[in-house]
């Protein structure tokens, strides 16, 4: 069974600075996807970034980038030039096949990010 571990329950960063959120995962599959989702106080969960396990190049979306270390099963999220609107709960997630063609999306416990002005 896949597991996702986020070891930082809370993090804080000064506005305009850079912060890295950690995530490790465990899976027996060779092909899978990894995701970072953001849940602001409005509760609306939105996708931040995704990474395919077969791709060695780290995914980037504007100020958000990942450091994907497949051998170490590590998938950290870096937020550059942090903004007040980045304050949210961040969830790391992995997706893998769960019998046949069905798949499961498993989440970590989340990291609450505070951005200080």
Partner 1 sequence: DVKVTQSSRYLVKRTGEKVFLECVQDMDHENMFWYRQDPGLGLRLIYFSYDVKMKEKGDIPEGYSVSREKKERFSLILESASTNQTSMYLCASSSGGFNTEAFFGQGTRLTVV
Residue numbers at the binding site for partner 1 (CB under 8 A): 6, 9, 32-33, 35, 42-47, 50, 52, 91, 95-99, 101-110
Q: What is the full DSSP assignment across 70-98?
A: TTTTEEEEEE-S--GGG-EEEEEEEEEE-
Handedness of CA 64, 36, 6, 24 (dihedral sign): negative
CA nearest neighbour of 110 among 3, 4, 9: 9
Closest distance to partner 1 from the beta carbon of 37 (Å): 8
Of the pair 82, 94, the CB lying nearest partner 1 is at: 94
Closest distance to partner 1 from the beta carbon of 66 (Å): 15
Closest distance to partner 1 from the beta carbon of 101 (Å): 7
Of the pair 55, 63, the CB lying nearest partner 1 is at: 55
């Amino acid at each position: 069974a896949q597991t996702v571990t986020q070891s930082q329950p809370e993090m804080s960063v000064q506005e305009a600075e850079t912060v890295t959120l950690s995530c490790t995962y465990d899976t027996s599959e060779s092909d899978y996807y990894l995701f970072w989702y953001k849940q602001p106080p409005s509760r609306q969960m939105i996708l931040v970034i995704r990474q395919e396990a077969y791709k060695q190049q780290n995914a980037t979306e504007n100020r958000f980038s990942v450091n994907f270390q497949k051998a170490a099963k590590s998938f950290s999220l870096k937020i550059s030039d942090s903004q007040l609107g980045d304050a949210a709960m961040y969830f790391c997630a992995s997706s893998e096949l769960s019998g046949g063609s069905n798949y499961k999306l498993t989440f970590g416990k989340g990291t609450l990010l505070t951005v200080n002005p």
